[in-house]
Structure 1
């Protein structure tokens, strides 16, 4: 079970901001920014700080790996390979090549070339962040970069429940539990889904949670309850 803390990984965010492709060749070579630093918060209210990818990119380099290239953040649809990922003053610059032997990659190439889609979007785990208490803006200071997708719409909240928005909600609800407050059935169910429970598990646990609310429960008791449910 993943417990949300500011010093630990939160959730995989399947989409951040959507950024314009810089170049595309007929052979499928592609270049663009998967993320930019600073500026206005994205649709999740986040700002990515310069240097936030450094540790992850160093880890990839040491392991001889690269972030994956997916279509629309779908791990079942790899469409090519990223050949380089570097931070510059502007953001995370990605260079790669679409696998033109793959039908979906050829379709993506055609859509990109026609200008029907023009986005890159990153998938990552948050490792370290800070929050502005006045504005609610999260500054992501270290992220574990997992994949960079070609997308039609960035910051797609429906792409996955494992989004930054879900992570924030789960974190807030965890803090509420730690403070000794009770959660409504809907809040408790949302919290469980943010922690990785399936819809059916979350619904069942929420019903059991309501039956146990005769006395205020401590956060540790709630976590023990969840572990028992997960088995």
Structure 2
């Protein structure tokens, strides 16, 4: 895993896979377009049988969670659901990934997403921050937004698992040091599970990406799911 961290840090271009469309400055209130994206994500991830599963997990993140560029059934959420079910878990994984989301956008939509569900989730996978890096947003703001989201979820009695990112050295050692401590520090503060690098096992392997060279293909997503599933299962035991 450490080798993958180092490889990741050498390439700022990798962060482009985390953003699909918007390069606008982060706003304090949601725009009409942003609201439409959120509603679309909620609807696409909805399932009339959600309440029938014993366990409900919400995958709350950006394009990495949304399954950008692959068939809907080959995205992170459905593949994780299948992997957990193969372990004997009666589980539904709800896809709440929105391409291009920053932590600020995630914070704005979190209540809407959680309140739109038919029941309280047993676990929320929280994977945001890469777009903050791409836009050069202040690490202190990224940390504050993630902090607020975790606190919100814990106040609701919902378990959280963070999937982290790392800042490339191109942004400077001061920035990188401030950003890279965010996920482990918050995991420690709130005593939540942490998967340090979401793209572990995939980054640096061109054959695991779509033709654009930026987004993981179905095989790449399979590897991500294979590596993260045991820790998700462990988080459910929490």
Higher helix share: 2
| TM-score between the two structures when normalised by the length of structure 2 | 0.27
Higher strand share: 1
